Amino acid sequence: MKRILPIIIFIGLFAFLAKSLFQPQTNIPSPLIGQSMPAFSLGELNTDTSLTDKDILGTISLINVWATWCVGCEREHDFLIELAGNQSIDIPIIGINWKDRDDLALRWLSQRGNPYIVVLSDPIGKTAIDFGVYGAPETFLIDEQGVIRYKHIGPLNRENFARNFMPIIRDLRR
C-alpha cells in the first residue's frame, strides 16, 4: 500500500493538471477590467482615416480583436454577423485586425461579410498589447465612459455572449 499511494497521488495530480492545461480559458482575469481602455489611434483598413479611443466614447461598444489567420476568429464570425444585425441588442462592433495584412483582411471580410462598424489595422500589435491581448480572438465590452467592463478570450457564440455580456449590458443600460 505504501508503494501504491504515491502512484495514486501522482496520477490524480497529473489528471488535474492535464484537465486545467487543456481546458479552454475564456475568462482569464484582466487587470484592465474596471479601468479606462488604453489610449489608441489606429488607421482604418483601406482608408486614410484614423479612429482613437476618444471617438468611441458615449456608446456601449464591443472591440473585437481578430485576424485572418485565426481559426477561432473564423468560428465566431457567423455569430458576429448575427450580432451586428440584431436590432434588439444594438451594440456597435469595432474590429481590430491584429498582426495581419490589410489586403488579406479586406478580402476575408468581403468573402465572409463585415460585422464591424469600422475595422482598424494593428499590424505590429501595439494596441492589442496595450489591451492585454493574449491571442485572437478577444472581445472587450466598453461602456459609455470608455471603461472596460468585460474581456472574453476565444470565439464568441450565442451562449457565452448571453451568459457573460448580456447581464453587464443590461446593467449598463439601466
Structural domain contains residue 16: no
The CATH number assigned to the domain holding 99 equals 3.40.30.10
Domain membership of residue 49 (yes or no) is yes
Q: Is residue 127 part of a domain?
A: yes
Name the pTM for this structure: 0.84
Asked, for residue 57, whether it belongs to a domain, the answer is yes
Residue 115 lies in a domain: yes
- Is 37 buried (19+), middle (13-18) or exposed (0-12) by CB count in 10 A? buried
**Burial, 79: exposed, middle or buried (Cβ in 10 Å; 0-12, 13-18, 19+)?**
middle
Three-class SS state of 64: strand
| Rama region for 34: left / alpha / beta (φ>0; ψ in -120 to 50; rest) | left
End-to-end CA distance of the chain: 62
Domain presence at residue 158? yes
Instruction: Report if residue 148 sits inside a domain.
Output: yes
In angstroms, the CA 109 to CA 142 distance is 23
Number of domains in the chain: 1
pLDDT tens, position by position, for the chain (174 residues)? 667 766 666 565 555 555 444 444 445 567 789 999 999 999 999 889 999 999 999 999 999 999 999 999 999 999 999 999 999 999 999 999 999 999 999 999 999 999 999 999 999 999 999 999 989 999 999 999 999 999 999 999 999 999 999 999 999 999
Q: Does the residue 67 lie in any domain?
A: yes
DSSP notation for 90-114 = ---EEEEEESS-HHHHHHHHHHH--
What range does the domain containing 118 cover?
A: 27-173
